[in-house]
Structure 1
Amino acid sequence: MKGTSLDTDILVIGAGPTGLLLTNLLGEMGINTILIERNETTVEEPRAVSIDDESMRALQAAGLATEVAAITAKGYGSLYRGPSGRQFAAVKPFIKEYGFDKRNAFEQPEFESTLRRALNRHPSVDARFGVTLTDFEQSADHIAVTVTEAGGTRMIRTRYMVAADGGRSHVRKALGIQMEGSTFAEPWLIVDLETTKNRCFHTEVFCDPRRSAITLPGPRGIRRYEFKLNPGETAEEAERTPFARKLLSETGPDGDEPIRRQKVYTFHARIAEHWRAGRVFLAGDAAHLTPPFAGQGMNSGLRDAHNLAWKLAEALNMTDPEHLLDSYQTERKPHAWSMIELALKMGKIMMPDSVLRGVAIRTGFRLLGLYGPARDYVAQMKYKPKPKFSDGLIRPVATGAGAGAVGRMIPQPLVSTLNREERLLDTCLPDRPVVLIFDETPDLAMDAALLERLRNAGAEVIGLTPEWMNPVAASFPILRDQSRFFSQQPFRDCLGHGLLLRRDRYVAAIEPIGQIESLLPMIARLTTPLDTADHQSVATEEELRATAI
């Protein structure tokens, strides 16, 4: 109705993957959130095709990992082939450092539909499609947003707004925020097939100076092909069916398979100079545009959502949340740019610009394959930048035991409980800061008075033993690192320490056992003191057993 106004804590603009995950996370936290999307539905044609392990962990935080896993093809790798079709390198990661396969194929329409349906679980969420933002004005304590919908115009008052409205973001342009970086001169033809005769489980990358090409697997027997256009080939020509049929026939067995979509794209490597303007934040493609060669465009947006959601939730209860909100850009912008740089480097491998360069690349990879550590560096995707911050809402340690762990996302091992049930670590952690006591005998690390002080400050305490020690009954839950991820560096050096974990599972600070109370000031920067009446207890042993793997 014309003139009707709404009030909310958070307004999310755009129901793509970033906006949908952000809204689900906020809904899971019980935050009053309105999501608006100018289209009547989520996307109906293929776009992104790969979800990584870090994104699956973010979905896990929203209670969506199981549903999303059910619509993916899990754990695929990449085979790199030269002009003859001979394989010269393979990337087949199998280590589940963060609890999930590193690469998982999916269809974006089905993915977005899954996340949209999940919004119905949250009474604090109001999702509105067919609604367009037309104007907004910030004041000291809120943003007044004007939107149009079928019934006319409406005003929405919100404390914070997140623009996840895509690469051509209306909000970003209205704020006058510029994009830094470049646009690729080389256009690519994307061909999505309904069915495939290509039985390769993995991605195939054809590094041929005559024409680079990629084939990517999908769930339920579908496949995508991507072809670099050569000079003189136009988008109009490439989007004709005979053109695609010719390239499909030259690349594999799918020359006659039914085509679902055929479209030319020009890729970008760009990032917004600022990600925040007052009470407005940019996220997803509105903040960064990534070439597809590393499969990180959508995944970077999901990382934005995971980083920002809990900070907005905490900011609503803080008198002065500026340090919390400013840390979003401080942490996410450098990491997002590192993923753009990774994509550019991978693009150089995929697109050799001469026969000589192609030979040099293939020879280099074959030589690396002769040396075990170098071979594993490639095969296990260790070249991918780790989820780690050097600045932001953390308290770095210059030197000493555990210094390398601060600012990192902790691994997510399979852990065993007191009764030897097996679970992923995050399912045992509450959605608030956690002091993780990593020690052979964490039950001896603190007395009842310190435990109470930590809990009243808003943190929970969880014990974790290394794989060679069994957990015991104590005044807080104790788990065993069954997967041995904490026995590897840099976390091996954390034995005998308390790690302060943020709600997004990054290490904010570390202290030796005996100095754990020194974590209290940092806890105060992450959250507000816990109201005893609202105390969220950790899972009991019986609850853990009921949902054990």
Structure 2
Amino acid sequence: MSVKEPILEVDIAIVGAGPTGLTLANLLGGMGISVALIERNLTTVQEPRAVSIDDESMRALQAAGLAEAVEQIVARGYGSRYLSPAHNLFLTVEPTSRDYGFDKRNAFQQPELEAVMRGGLARHGTVIQLFGWEMQSFAQTDRAVSLEIADTSGAQRTVTARYMVASDGGRSPTRGKLGIPLTGSTFAERWLIVDLVRTENRFRHTEVYCDPARPCISLPGPDNIRRYEFMLHPGEDEKAATDEAFVRDMLARVGPDRDCQFRRVRVYTFHARLAERWRDGRIFLAGDAAHLTPPFAGQGMNSGLRDAHNLAWKLAEAVNGNASSDLLDSYETERKPHAWEMIELALRMGRVMMPENATKALLTRIAFRALGFYPPARDYFAQMRYKPKPRFRQGLLWPDGLSEKATIVGRLIPQPLVDDTGRHRKLLDQVLPDRPVILVFDEFPDRALASDTVAALQAAGAAVIGMTPEWMNPVEGVFPVYRDAGRLFGGPQMRAYLGHTLLLRRDRYVASAVPVDRSGELVERIAALGASTSLTPDPKVLAAAS
């Protein structure tokens, strides 16, 4: 006889404890929101899947208080080498800039990453972990979502939540039960994935073999591991492709790892799809449930972590009664276009990796070699500037009238190292509280705002922080002031905003920018972000101001 457990009431129910669900649970837990994290498996994933985490995702994990722990398990700052069929180098991608405070590409093992993420949940007494429980059904009203879950022993339980987030994978049962179709590209490719226990290849960067006969990607990892991905041709049998002799023959063609021990050999079909809708009433889709991305740009998991970072604070504001329907709708409005940009980036990179024939492959190599003689073009590829910057064109933002190329509104603010008046150096986000921030970027930010303006901005629910350009020292004032020691605000785009006040959202995107003498206009915009006027002053800010 099955046992019916008591009803569990929480603010947010998260279905699926992959990287997206775990990140969301950590963020919400840090905000004091009660969460039920429901995962049908007994543990986090135990086999390698995603292998690359970017600087934007690291910043999301920084917000969750996990960045330092994650940096201990990754191989930081690797690049890519693109090779001809004869294995001659024709393009190098090796980014060195740290626009958002972290290396642009970092390699990891997903079991280790998820273990760190799950371990982080122990910090939050409001997060209830329900591993080994599977959602059987759900229903929603205009006030709540009710989920029926069961474990392997037959025990049953009802979970009621104000909102539900389905991060339950590319085959999302939630998306299916809601009747939400996938739309987008017709792209579908089968690839043979080979994960090694230990590699003989000591090259620390990705190797991309752009061979029409058999495209291949060789990806480095921490602790001397390596992954190989080989494209399968139409008609090639999956069982034959995973035969040991076939796999070892593939490895022998691209390096020294023919005789290495396999950790996993599997065929995957990669897709490029978006869910038609990301919200159904009080239910949201996130991660692979909302978008399926080919792996060529390493953005599948990273897009899911961006979802979590965007959605967490909006759900927290909704739970606290500070969110309008527009605020929750902005999740799809903001994230969906950028998720598709990442899919398109992966498809473009796939066309370079998978030339249709030898002629197109040769022309591609000639073009990239020619561009290598032109420094701006060389840097465009070497520094990964072809990757679309995180950018919202619609949503919770107030355009300032500048062109899309020039404006900072809707963009993720750079994260430089900053100095305080005591010459202590930290990353920008480490000195910002988890609430809307008024960032006064000026040579003399302590003089830029009248005291009544500062008081009004703070009363609206924002913290006021000053930032000087790198050539000016910070001074003590009525609010904390820091210096841009990393010089990221000194580039053309940010330097144009010297003498401006920026309204930063809790996810560190710029919602608005006005000249300092118009800072009072931001009071109503702070309220539109759902900011509570009854927030307890952040101890970090009080200490910095004292």
Give the TM-score of the pair, scaled to structure 1: 0.97
CA contact (8 A) 1:51 1:103 kept: yes
Task: Decide whether the 8 Å contact of 1:136 with 1:143 is kept in 2.
Answer: yes
> Conserved in 2, the CA contact under 8 Å of 1:466 and 1:484?
yes
| Alignment partner, residue 43 of structure 1 | 45
Choose the corresponding residue for 1:240, options 240, 243, 258: 243
Instruction: Answer yes or no: is 1:415 the counterpart of 2:415.
Output: no
Deviation at 1:405, TM superposition (A): 0.6
Q: Residue 318 of structure 2 corresponds to which residue in structure 1? A: 315
How do 1:74-85 and structure 2 match up within 5 A?
Answer: 74-85=76-87
The match for 2:104 is: 102
In the aligned structure 2, how far is the partner of 1:114 from the partner of 1:136?
30
What residue is the counterpart of 2:115 in the other structure?
113
Counterpart of 1:547 in structure 2 is none
Match of 1:294 in 2: 297
Report how far residue 240 of structure 1 moved. 1.1
The sequence identity of aligned pairs, in percent, is 57
Q: Once the 2 structures are TM-superposed, how far is the Cα of residue 456 of structure 1 from its aligned partner?
A: 1.4
Specify the alignment match of 1:462 in structure 2: 465
Query: Which residue in 2 is equivalent to 1:453?
Result: 456
CA drift at 1:482: 1.1
Q: Is the 8 A contact 2:476 2:545 kept in 1?
A: no
State the shift of 1:536 in Å. Answer: 2.2
CA distance in 2, matches of 1:310, 1:500: 16
Partner deviation per Cα, 1:88-145 (whole Å, 9 max, x = no partner): 0000000000000000000001111111111111011101101111111111211111
User: Quick check: 2:323–2:530 contact (8 Å CA) kept in 1?
Assistant: no
Partner of 1:29: 31
State the SS of the aligned residue for 1:190. Answer: strand
Separation in structure 1 between the aligned mates of residue 519 and residue 460 of structure 2, nearest angstrom: 13
Q: Does 1:491 align with 2:482?
A: no
Question: Counterpart of 1:500 in structure 2: which amino acid?
Answer: L
Match of 1:180 in 2: 183
Counterparts of residues 54-65 of structure 1 (less than 5 Å): 54-65=56-67
Other-structure match for 2:274 = 271
- The one-letter code of the counterpart of 1:333 is K
Q: 1:505 and 2:508 equivalent?
A: yes
* Cα separation, 2, equivalents of 1:361 and 1:313: 48
In structure 2, the partner of 1:254 is: 257
| 8 Å contact from structure 2 (residues 477, 545) kept in 1 | no
User: Are 1:499 and 1:510, in contact at CA under 8 Å, matched by a contact in 2?
Assistant: yes
What secondary structure, in the 3-state scheme, does the structure 2 residue paired with 1:527 have?
coil
SS at match of 1:256: coil
What are structure 2's unaligned runs of at least 5 residues? none
Which residue in 2 is equivalent to 1:335? 338
- The amino acid of 1:446's aligned partner reads L
Decide which moves more: 488-497 or 434-443.
488-497
Structure 2 CA distance for partners of 1:407 and 1:500, relative to 1, 3 Å = same
Distance 1:320 1:400 in 2: 30
For the pair 1:93 / 2:75, whether they are aligned, the reply is: no
Structure 2 CA distance for aligned equivalents of residues 320 and 201 of structure 1: 46
Within the candidate set 505, 515, 520, 1:517 is matched to 520
Q: How many residues align?
A: 543
Opposite residue 276 of structure 1, the aligned amino acid is R
* SS of match in other structure, 1:220: helix
Structure 1 portions without partners, runs of 5+:
545-549
Q: What secondary structure, in the 3-state scheme, does the structure 1 residue paired with 2:100 have?
A: coil
Secondary structure, aligned partner of 2:20? helix
Question: What's the Cα RMSD here?
Answer: 1.6
TM-score where L is the length of structure 2: 0.97
The answer to whether the 8 A contact 2:480-2:545 is kept is: no
Contact 2:436/2:531 (<8 A) preserved: no
Bigger Cα displacement from structure 2, 179-188 vs 201-210 = 179-188
Change (3 A) 1:485 1:388: same
Q: Distance in 2 between matches of 1:81 and 1:399?
A: 41
Contact 1:318 1:528 in 2 (8 A): no
Report the alpha carbon displacement of residue 184 of structure 1 after superposing the two structures with TM: 3.7
**1:445-486 alpha-carbon deviations (Å, 9 max, x no partner):** 123222221111110000000011000010111001111111
Partner AA of 2:257 in structure 1:
D
